[in-house]
Amino acid sequence: MLGLFFAIYLLSFYGSFGVDTLSFLSFPTDTIIAAVIVLVFHYLAVYTGFRTDSIEEVSREQGSAASPV
């Protein structure tokens, strides 16, 4: 989470919201880079997540409730 905050902070500083003398990323470029950074961190979070017994139980309950009997 701290890595995401730091990456977005640097991107906003050097992007269109930063100081005019340091902003070398224009509007559409910094937004696209921000989307890519967020997606990378999202997939890392999903990949490193873990499933507990409680989560498995809720998942089974929701799966059985969704199927008609």
Q: Digits of tens for pLDDT over the chain (69 positions)?
A: 899 999 999 999 998 888 876 778 888 999 999 999 999 999 999 899 888 899 889 888 988 655 554
CA atoms 50, 52, 54, 58: torsion sign = positive
Local structure of residue 18 (DSSP, 8 states): S
Question: pTM here?
Answer: 0.70
Instruction: Say what the pLDDT of residue 64 is.
Output: 64
| Domain edges within the chain | 2-59
Task: Please provide the size of the chain in residues.
Answer: 69
Instruction: Say what the pLDDT of residue 63 is.
Output: 82
